[in-house]
Structure 1
Amino acid sequence: MFIATLIAARRISSGDISLAEDALRERGIEPMGRSWIEEDKACDILFSADPTIARDALEGMISGADLVVQGEAGRRKRLLVADMDSTMITVECIDELADYAGRKAEVAEITERAMRGEIDFTAALRDRVALLKGLEEAVLDRCHDERVRITPGARALVRTMRREGAYCLLVSGGFSAFADRVAGAIGFDGAVANTLLVEEGRLSGTVGEPIVGAEGKLQALIDAAEARAIELGESLAIGDGANDIPMLKAAGLGVAYHAKPKVAAAADARIEHGDVGALLFAQGYARSEWEAN
């Protein structure tokens, strides 16, 4: 049995669900019932046919609604692995750091290309970090305090999943100077990220090796699952950039969050309208079951 969950950023009606059921019938899939997770906000449609056909039939048909199609069994995941920049927080930390060095436009352009998968992530990270050389180490704290903001729904997602027994890991191609604090503020069990190297109180323009990139994120997912005897099918991964693609593909449910086109195409589901709290609806949690955001 499969579930198609429609999740509205604002409101979804019974009429919208009826249109979705009709769209499934037009593709030869007979709906086997509907169930509201949250009235006017999130609804499950049950069916037993090809989930790929169902996703193709429903995706984008209801304005302002996101879609998650998955198996009914195991929808509540035991492992969450999440990207940080532009996913669990609203900014790209390296771009914001570069602003303090007067080089934001230059660095942000490289970041955008790397996240789109147009250039190699590892080489792009080294190039960007080199542009930060000489920046005072104290700027890391200032940048965190002035620029870093947690994405709506992030605390609720992590804290609800942890309450239900899931292990939650923040995995970032960014820097531990931010990731460790963000992980603590949101409620993650731990964080994996890169280390900015410092010499005499200033950034050296280099990053610790090995660099956490696409393969590092994938390995973090695998290691977290193996350490806790969790099948990869029981995992949920979320991210927005090209360096997230391998972990999204390996996870039981890989979700692209307001993502670049290449990432959206590779993921099992896309969140384009709502915030990360949509992933609680996708797991069948009504808002009354969420931990405080």
Structure 2
Amino acid sequence: MLVATLVSAHGQALLSDALLTRLANAVSGVTRQARLDGEVAADLFVDGADARKLEADIRAALDGTAVDIIVQPAATRRKALFLADMDSTMIGQECIDELAAYVGLKDKVASITERAMRGEIAFEPALRERVALLKGVPASVVDEIIRERITLTPGGRQLVRTMRANGAYTALVSGGFTVFTGPLGATIGFDEDRSNTLLVANGVLTGAVEAPILGKQAKLDSLVELREQRSLSRAATLAVGDGANDLAMLGEAGLGVAFRAKPAVAAAADARLDHADLTALLYAQGYRGDEIIQA
């Protein structure tokens, strides 16, 4: 039995009775439908379907309506381990680009970031190249950047706090830097954070990052490590990210979700969120609107 969770675009309630009926009629094998949160989120339960085909059929029936679709086995939808990327996923910015803005190099650094996230260049050398451009930046600007430039992605705090309240373990696993993941991870509510360490001397960035660099392989390794520590099945894990360095982690998770992702990442992930906020990952697990802990 598969469940197709349908979630309206952030701030909208698009799943009218007429639309839900149209979607249910567009695929064969629908056994029942259930509302999770009014016209914001709903489930279609489908027997004997292929997940990719089911998603494609529903997407075609949506005819451009801003509703996201997450298809997975119904029996294993509730997750006990959640790993998330930070930049452009749990927050709306790339922290290294905001550091570069301090020295007037945001456009240059952002272009390297974009190529790395698309998988056009390897993550580790791209990170070293970008960090080298930050040499001499006062470490103290980090607090100012967090305070004035960083915004949390809608639904992220609700997602993490609701999962933790229901016994799940949550980890922020970032190719960014500890000076950001520490305070931001705590603000969002994660159990732990893992990321890279910028080297500092005399209060300024040296232009180097401590080895080894946490990239694609380290994110995958973190998922496997945390899963094995808790004796969980693969199906009990959830991961979300947007860039090429998230692909291995997303591929290993029971449900790997691409959030506002680069095309290659969206195509490879189990599901993608193009419209909804991060509470969609709670609806995907079967949480109802009244079960979500509001931050």
1:18 maps onto 2:21 in alignment: yes
In structure 1, what is the equivalent of residue 228 of structure 2? 226
Contact 1:60/1:66, CA 8 A, preserved across alignment: no
**Distance (Å, rounded) in 1 between the aligned partners of 2:169 and 2:190:** 8
Q: 1:149 — aligned with what?
A: 151
The corresponding residue for 1:254 is 256
* Partner deviation per Cα, 1:206-229 (whole Å, 9 max, x = no partner): 001110110011111111111111
Q: Which amino acid aligns with 2:212?
A: P
User: What secondary structure does 1:81 align onto?
Assistant: strand
2:60, 2:212 → 1: CA distance?
40
- Consecutive unaligned residues in structure 1, runs of 5 or more: none
Counterpart for residue 118 of structure 2:
116
State whether structure 2 residue 43 is matched by structure 1 residue 40: no
- Residue 167 of structure 2 is matched in structure 1 by 165
SS of equivalent to 1:33: strand
Alignment-mate amino acid for residue 22 of structure 1: N
Q: Secondary structure at the match of 1:37?
A: strand
1:225-277 CA-partner distances (Å, limit 9, x unpaired): 11111112100000001100000000000000011001000100010001111
Read off the aligned partner of 1:17 and give its amino acid letter: L
CA shift digits 1:25-71 (9 cap, x unpaired)? xxxx3211111111111111111122222112112542110000011
2:194 match: secondary structure: strand
In the other structure, the counterpart of 1:58 is 58
TM-score by length of 1: 0.97
Aligned residue number for residue 2 of structure 2: 2
TM-score, normalised on structure 2?
0.96
> Structure 2 matches for 1:86-235, cutoff 5 A?
86-235=88-237
Q: Which residue identity is paired with 2:21? A: S
4+ long deviations beyond 4 Å? none
Paired AA for residue 2 in structure 1: L
Q: Secondary structure at the match of 2:86?
A: coil
For the residues of structure 1 that align with 2:90 and 2:130, how far apart are their CA atoms?
Answer: 21
Alpha-carbon distance in 2 for matches of 1:246, 1:15: 39
Report the Cα offset of residue 22 of structure 1: 2.2
Post-superposition offset of 1:78: 0.2
CA–CA distance in 2 between the matches of 1:37 and 1:137? 45
**Paired residue for 1:76?**
78
* RMSD over aligned Cα atoms: 1.0
Q: Following the alignment from structure 1 to structure 2, what is the Cα–Cα distance between the partners of residues 137 and 51?
A: 47
Local SS of the residue matching 2:23 = helix
Aligned AA (1:245): L
Quote how far apart the aligned CAs of 1:178 are: 0.2
